[in-house]
Structure 1
Amino acid sequence: MPADPPLLAARGIESGYGKVQVLWGAELAVGARESVVLLGPNGAGKTTALKVLLGLMPAWRGTISFAGSDITLWPSDRRVRAGMAYMSEIGVFTALSIAENLAIGGQFAQPAALRRRLDILYDAFPDLAARRSAAAGSLSGGQRKMLGIAKALAGSPRLLVMDEPSAGLSPLFVGQVITILRQFHQDGLALLIAEQNVKFLDLAEHVITLEGGRTGFSGDVATLMADDRLHRAYFGL
């Protein structure tokens, strides 16, 4: 039987800032219900790639498809309505309350569907449920990260795209983030996570490396671990 088409596919993506090119023919794909980690050091082009996928930056060349539609020229709000969600390193509006942040995350959902979704999220994030009216700025760094994840999930996306969710977190909170993401992934959520923290490979069913704006390795974690050069580069061994 032929393989199912990917939920998200980017082919030959080139982009950058002004006259400075950052991405050079980058390619990646995420299957429905699949978890993919985009692994690379600082400056590799990971954030730029995610912004292009979400329509926050234009693709100079190449194509992007989502759920069978060519979305290369779609504005970002249309991509969100189609089922994509994005969590940046910041992820929340600090001057707004927890409840207000979640409402913004679910702004395109039907009211009844959003109420049901919020019940699920508050069950999954009890620390947020206990402080719904508190300003996001009053939360600890780890709690803000949890709110950022909940906000991105409020619209019930098919694909959650995340930019370095480990940034600024202690190992304890990194473990908690991985646990909560695994829970929603097991319920059918597809994940694309840009990271340099190899702990997130615990979540990965597929790994893509990005170096100098170019796609390198693409395969499973076991194959990555078996490649001596890549093992030294990413695990320091």
Structure 2
Amino acid sequence: MTELLATRGLETGYGTMQVLWGVDIDVGESETVVLLGSNGAGKTTLMKCLLGLLPQRGGEIRFRGESIGRLPTRARVQRGLAFMSELGVFPDLTVDENIDLGALFTPRARARTRAAELYDLFPVLKEKRRQAAGGLSGGQRKMLGIAKALAGDPKLLVMDEPSAGLSPLFVATVIRSLAACRAGGLSLLIAEQNVKFLELGDRVFTLEGGRIRFGGTPAEIQADDGLRRAYFGLGQDDPGQPDRGQAHDVRT
């Protein structure tokens, strides 16, 4: 598989506090990678560092074969990185305006075509395109956040907890929407606490205390008793492998 994004020995933090310690992760072309971790594990810090919103203190970030650690955020976006934060949208802007903003660095003709494609993918947004994003339901705001991030035709979409604030029903809706995007060849890096997102993953990393503790496939994480107990709430005496439909949010 062709490497799209890779970090090697990545370190960063805030002020005198170091948060990430020697983080190595990678995402391949047309691959979905899930980064599991609890609150405070360093997931958001890692996402911000990948996009240049937080400077790295050590290590390297490579994207499409280029070292991008010293590039500004704008240059990383122009090279094909997109970021969807936990909020994801500007609530005072309309649906149309949010999607237009997501296509800021895209030629106007392509931006119009892309907007039409996204409204086909998310028809509920087309119905509300003149409405302020703040007036949408939680699930609709997440869809808009995805559409906004996709408006610039990224190669890799980096997402920070897309399940935050959503009911299980809307989590399932977001997962279906992302599966449709992935089918078109988009690569995804999804930072989450909710193990339901393993349904999308080709591979998974776990982040604890700013360090990568595990890297492998969703099947491998489910086969490891300690990891099953930590992330699925299942112990050694539980029979068989956990059904993905039984997976739950690990927030406590």
1:172-191 to 2 correspondence within 5 Å?
172-191=169-188
Residue 124 of structure 1: how far off its partner (Å): 0.8
- Which of 91, 105, 111 does residue 114 from structure 1 map onto? 111
- What TM-score do the two structures reach when normalised by structure 1? 0.98
- Alignment gaps of 5+ in structure 1: none
> How many pairs align?
234
Q: Secondary structure at the match of 1:50?
A: helix
Which residue of structure 1 aligns with residue 206 of structure 2? 209
- Which of 148, 158, 163 does residue 161 from structure 1 map onto? 158
CA distance in 1, matches of 2:188, 2:132: 28
Which residue of structure 2 aligns with residue 146 of structure 1? 143
- What TM-score do the two structures reach when normalised by structure 2? 0.92
Residue 141 of structure 1: how far off its partner (Å): 1.2
CA distance in 2, matches of 1:108, 1:42: 33
Cα deviation digits, residues 164-183 of structure 1 (max 9, x gap): 00000011110010001001
CA distance in 2, matches of 1:75, 1:56: 8
CA distance in 2, matches of 1:19, 1:39: 26
Which residue of structure 1 aligns with residue 44 of structure 2? 47
- Which of 92, 97, 102 does residue 100 from structure 1 map onto? 97
Amino acid at match of 1:27: D
Which residue of structure 2 aligns with residue 18 of structure 1? 15
CA distance in 1, matches of 2:173, 2:9: 35
- 2:10 equivalent to 1:38: no
CA distance in 2, matches of 1:41, 1:96: 31
Which residue of structure 2 aligns with residue 28 of structure 1? 25
- Which of 73, 76, 85 does residue 79 from structure 1 map onto? 76
Residue 159 of structure 1: how far off its partner (Å): 0.2
Cα deviation digits, residues 16-50 of structure 1 (max 9, x gap): 11001100111100001100000011110000001
CA distance in 2, matches of 1:180, 1:215: 28
Runs of 4+ in 1 over 6 A off after TM superposition: none
- Alignment gaps of 5+ in structure 2: 235-252
Cα deviation digits, residues 67-93 of structure 1 (max 9, x gap): 011001010110000000000000101
Residue 131 of structure 1: how far off its partner (Å): 1.2
Cα deviation digits, residues 77-125 of structure 1 (max 9, x gap): 1000000000000010111100000000011111111111111100111
- 2:199 equivalent to 1:198: no
Q: Percent identity?
A: 60
Q: Secondary structure at the match of 1:7?
A: strand
Q: Secondary structure at the match of 2:226?
A: helix
1:53-64 to 2 correspondence within 5 Å?
53-64=50-61
CA distance in 2, matches of 1:199, 1:40: 13
CA distance in 1, matches of 2:14, 2:213: 22
